[in-house]
Amino acid sequence: MRTISYGGESFTTSDAAAEALLDFAAAAAHSESADVVHVPAVAPNGDLITADLVIGPASELLVIPADVAFAEPDTAAAVEVLREKTRALNDSRRPSYGAALPASDGSPEQQAEWGEEYD
């Protein structure tokens, strides 16, 4: 399990959820977007809770290993949601390419057809 510190508070969750949250935070920073995420967690007193976080470009997370005697929360659904959100952000950052230019034979005439921007 891992303890996550965020906004002056801490909570403990599964290794998979912590990793998925970090990946999502990095993707949100790169795409300059923000979203609310919900992570099943264990409070310092051992109660099962849901941590609700706004993750965006300026989010600062600290994740450290946790040695706790509490049962690990079921985070499988939350991990899948975080992974899907991360994929969506990463897909939105991929460049869109237009039609490929024909291969050049190197002749000045063909290069002139392409225009100066392709020199």
What's the pTM value of the predicted model, to 2 decimals?
Answer: 0.76
Give the ranges where the chain is alpha helix by DSSP (H). 15-31, 76-93, 108-114
Question: Residue 101: is its pLDDT beyond 60?
Answer: no
Provide the pLDDT confidence category of residue 49 given band limits of 50, 70 and 90.
very high
Question: Residue 93: is its pLDDT beyond 90?
Answer: no
- 83 exposure class (CB count in 10 Å sphere: 0-12, 13-18, 19+): middle
Q: Please indicate whether residue 116 or residue 72 has the higher confidence score (pLDDT).
A: 72
pLDDT at 117: 53
Nearest by Cα to 51 from 89, 16, 4: 4
